[in-house]
């Protein structure tokens, strides 16, 4: 039986040198053109090339078929070899025609074609070279992309795949798919529309692709706001649905995202989908451009919960409102600032503190620690499960200069104790995630508090306020307290009691542990 795999491997091994032979010939040809000394006639060089190719096919003629069962060797027919060689040379000669193009004409043709078809300006900084396999293409390094008379990107390596229908017309090079690799974008609010323009001018037949690239987004002071690592970013035309498309796979602050944009070529409306498995986010929106204001609807799914948001974009700002009117906010783009009000009737404790919660995922991503992110979020929660006696949570979250601050925190326990804090800071370092701050307990009905925790009557010393510093380790679920003051007074016996508690390995949020801690605290305080 004929072993096809052996034949393919043998054929591939023998064919590889042909590319080197031809490449060496044209390198010698170009080198001779640049020399001022007497040149070898072109006719002689072609004869030399022919001799080399003939030598190659002498090897090809001895290509053997292997019979695994009988170990017999068969030789290809000489006439077949000559026919194949002739066709191959003819075929190869046609594909080598672009090698004779003048470099200046190649550059000019590519610049004009890309400008006319994609409305994109490019600038060559190095030589343009030609490659055949796997399909004909021109390539170069260190190429600039220009937008609004400014260099916004530099590509380390670019391929211009060309149509082989018009190789005899050097002045009419028609690049098909464009592949930009290792591109560094330097983008700000003044030229971010480059991507929108590229989408609007996407070619109906060919693709415009960026691979293994980076995007640096900067503010007006040229300070870096964020860095995005782009694995794949491509513009193309969906002929079946008559959509111009964008598909991208990228990361921002180590959070992987997938982006899918579909533009209707008839009414210019867009459908945008943004997903991230890491933070369990799924956003879909439709954009209507038929009005002066850009209007749309966000369909956001997070942790199997769906919310609809209406939004309006105008005057460099975005305003949004949820369909149930519990979430509203505004995003200003120049300069960037985000503010929102979030109102929850009920929220699960798992969604806040547990290791797999959305909040913990966001904190791990360090998205909120971006020094150039400025935001203010007002959060109101009526009730949290497992904290049935705590109600009416309110806090202002401030993000800025890489810090996450919780200000004006307030809640109430069982209509008897007001719990508040002026400022609590979130820290995320090598030791884990921690909440650090000062907290106050103002007793408006301390007798009700005593009854609930069953404090013995001889331990019920009345006071108005407890103030203490705390560190809550979210990673270990461990609470550490110190510097406790009762009505602004410190007590050594209380400090000693807290030190002993801090050294223990008890779960801070265990109800039994909490109840026993409070009983023991009042016992120590009463002496």
Q: What is the pLDDT of residue 410?
A: 94
Q: What is the pLDDT of residue 367?
A: 63
pLDDT in tens, 489-513: 999 999 999 999 888 876 666 778 8
Nearest-10 Cα torsion for 364, 365, 371, 374: -100
Cα(92)–Cα(57) distance, integer angstroms: 14
Q: What is the pLDDT of residue 122?
A: 93
What integer best gives the mean pLDDT of the chain? 77
Please, what's the b/e burial string for 268-293 (b: 16 or more CB within 10 A of its CB; e: otherwise)?
eebebebbbeebbbbbebebeeeeee
pLDDT in tens, 164-194: 665 545 556 777 789 999 999 998 878 887 8
Q: CB–CB of 431/474 below 8 Å? A: no
In 3-state terms, the chain is what percent helix, strand and coil (to 5)?
A: 30, 45, 30
Highest mean pLDDT among 225-239, 440-454, 468-482: 440-454
Q: What is the pLDDT of residue 57?
A: 54
Tokens of 506: 């008890």
Q: Residue 496, class by beta-carbon neighbours within 10 Å (0-12 exposed, 13-18 middle, 19+ buried)?
A: exposed
pLDDT in tens, 33-42: 555 445 555 5
Tokens of 317: 């700002």
Contacts for 232 with CB less than 8 Å, ≥ 6 apart = 209, 210, 211, 247, 248, 249
- For 146-291, where are the alpha helices, taking DSSP H only? 193-200
pLDDT exceeds cutoff 80 at 471: yes
pLDDT in tens, 123-154: 999 998 887 777 788 899 999 999 888 899 99
Tokens of 199: 């989408």
Q: Residue 426, class by beta-carbon neighbours within 10 Å (0-12 exposed, 13-18 middle, 19+ buried)?
A: buried
Task: Tell me the average pLDDT across 453-474.
Answer: 91
Of residues 169 and 371, more confidently modeled: 371
Measure CA of the first residue to CA of the last residue in the chain; give whole Å. 99
Q: What is the pLDDT of residue 232?
A: 93
pLDDT in tens, 75-104: 445 666 666 666 666 666 556 666 667 788
The closest alpha carbon to 494, from 455, 520, 515, belongs to 520
142 to 112, 158, 188: CA distances (angstroms):
19, 8, 22
Task: Tell me the average pLDDT across 276-295.
Answer: 72
Task: Tell me the average pLDDT across 265-290.
Answer: 77
Tokens of 234: 């491509």
Nearest-10 Cα torsion for 208, 213, 214, 217: 0
Q: What is the pLDDT of residue 12?
A: 52
Q: What is the pLDDT of residue 75?
A: 47
Which long-range CB contacts under 8 A does 131-134 form with residues at least 24 apart?
A: 131/159, 132/19, 132/95, 132/96, 133/19
Please, what's the b/e burial string for 164-200 (b: 16 or more CB within 10 A of its CB; e: otherwise)?
eeebeeeeebbbbbbbbbebebbbbbebeebbeebbe
Tokens 């996407």 label which residue?
Answer: 202
Q: Residue 324: how many CB atoms within 10 A of its CB? A: 10
Tokens of 320: 């949004």
Q: What is the pLDDT of residue 55?
A: 59
Q: CB–CB of 309/298 below 8 Å? A: yes
Q: What is the pLDDT of residue 440?
A: 95
pLDDT exceeds cutoff 60 at 71: no
Q: CB–CB of 57/18 below 8 Å? A: no
Task: Tell me the average pLDDT across 367-396.
Answer: 81
Q: Residue 497: how many CB atoms within 10 A of its CB? A: 19
Q: What is the pLDDT of residue 302?
A: 57
Of residues 397 and 192, more confidently modeled: 397
SS3 40: coil
Cα(122)–Cα(151) distance, integer angstroms: 9
Q: What is the pLDDT of residue 354?
A: 60
Of residues 4 and 185, more confidently modeled: 185
Which long-range CB contacts under 8 A does 163-170 form with residues at least 24 apart?
A: 164/94, 164/95, 164/135, 164/136, 167/94, 167/95, 167/97, 167/98, 168/97, 170/98, 170/100, 170/101, 170/102, 170/105, 170/106, 170/109
Q: What is the pLDDT of residue 421?
A: 94
SS3 217: strand
Q: What is the pLDDT of residue 73?
A: 41
């Amino acid at each position: 039986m004929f072993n096809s795999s052996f034949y393919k491997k043998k054929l591939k091994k023998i064919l590889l040198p042909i590319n080197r032979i031809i490449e060496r010939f044209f390198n010698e040809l170009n080198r001779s053109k640049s020399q001022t000394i007497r040149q070898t006639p072109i006719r002689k060089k072609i004869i030399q090339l022919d001799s080399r190719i003939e030598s190659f096919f002498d090897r090809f003629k001895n290509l053997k078929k292997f019979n695994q069962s009988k170990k017999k060797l068969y030789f290809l027919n000489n006439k077949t070899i000559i026919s194949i060689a002739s066709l191959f040379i003819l075929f190869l000669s046609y594909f080598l025609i672009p090698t004779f193009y003048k470099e200046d004409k190649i550059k000019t043709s590519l610049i004009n074609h890309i400008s006319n078809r994609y409305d994109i300006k490019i600038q060559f900084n190095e030589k343009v070279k030609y490659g055949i396999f796997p399909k004909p293409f021109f390539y170069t390094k260190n190429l600039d992309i220009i937008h609004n008379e400014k260099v916004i990107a530099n590509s380390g390596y670019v391929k211009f795949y060309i149509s082989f229908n018009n190789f005899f017309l050097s002045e009419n090079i028609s690049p098909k798919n464009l592949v930009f690799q290792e591109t560094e974008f330097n983008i700000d609010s003044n030229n971010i529309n480059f991507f929108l323009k590229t989408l609007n001018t996407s070619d109906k037949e060919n693709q415009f692709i960026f691979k293994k690239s980076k995007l640096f987004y900067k503010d007006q002071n040229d300070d870096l706001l964020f860095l995005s690592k782009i694995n794949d970013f491509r513009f193309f035309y969906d002929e079946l649905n008559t959509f111009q498309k964008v598909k991208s796979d990228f990361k921002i602050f180590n959070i992987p995202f997938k982006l899918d944009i579909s533009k209707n070529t008839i009414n210019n409306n867009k459908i945008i989908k943004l997903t991230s498995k890491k933070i369990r986010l799924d956003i879909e929106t439709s954009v209507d451009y038929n009005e002066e204001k850009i209007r749309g609807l966000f369909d956001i799914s997070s942790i199997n919960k769906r919310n609809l948001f209406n939004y309006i974009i105008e005057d460099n700002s975005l305003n949004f409102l949820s369909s149930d009117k519990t979430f509203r906010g505004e995003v200003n783009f120049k300069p960037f600032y985000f503010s929102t009000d979030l109102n929850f009737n009920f929220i699960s404790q798992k969604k806040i503190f547990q290791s797999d919660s959305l909040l913990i995922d966001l904190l791990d991503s360090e998205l909120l620690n971006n020094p150039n992110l400025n935001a203010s979020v007002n959060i109101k929660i009526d009730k949290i499960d497992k904290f049935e006696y705590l109600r009416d949570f309110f806090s202002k979250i401030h993000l800025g200069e890489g810090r996450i601050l919780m200000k004006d925190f307030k809640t109430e326990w069982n209509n008897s104790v007001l719990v508040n804090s002026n400022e609590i800071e979130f820290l995320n370092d090598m030791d884990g995630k921690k909440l650090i701050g000062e907290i106050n307990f103002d007793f408006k009905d301390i007798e009700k508090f005593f009854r609930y925790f069953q404090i013995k009557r001889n331990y019920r010393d009345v006071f108005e306020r407890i103030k203490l510093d705390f560190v809550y380790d979210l990673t270990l679920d461990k609470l550490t307290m110190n510097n406790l003051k009762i009505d602004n007074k410190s007590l050594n016996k209380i400090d000693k009691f807290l030190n002993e508690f801090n050294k223990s390995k008890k779960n801070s949020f265990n109800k039994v542990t909490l109840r026993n801690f409070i009983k023991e605290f009042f016992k120590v305080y009463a002496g």
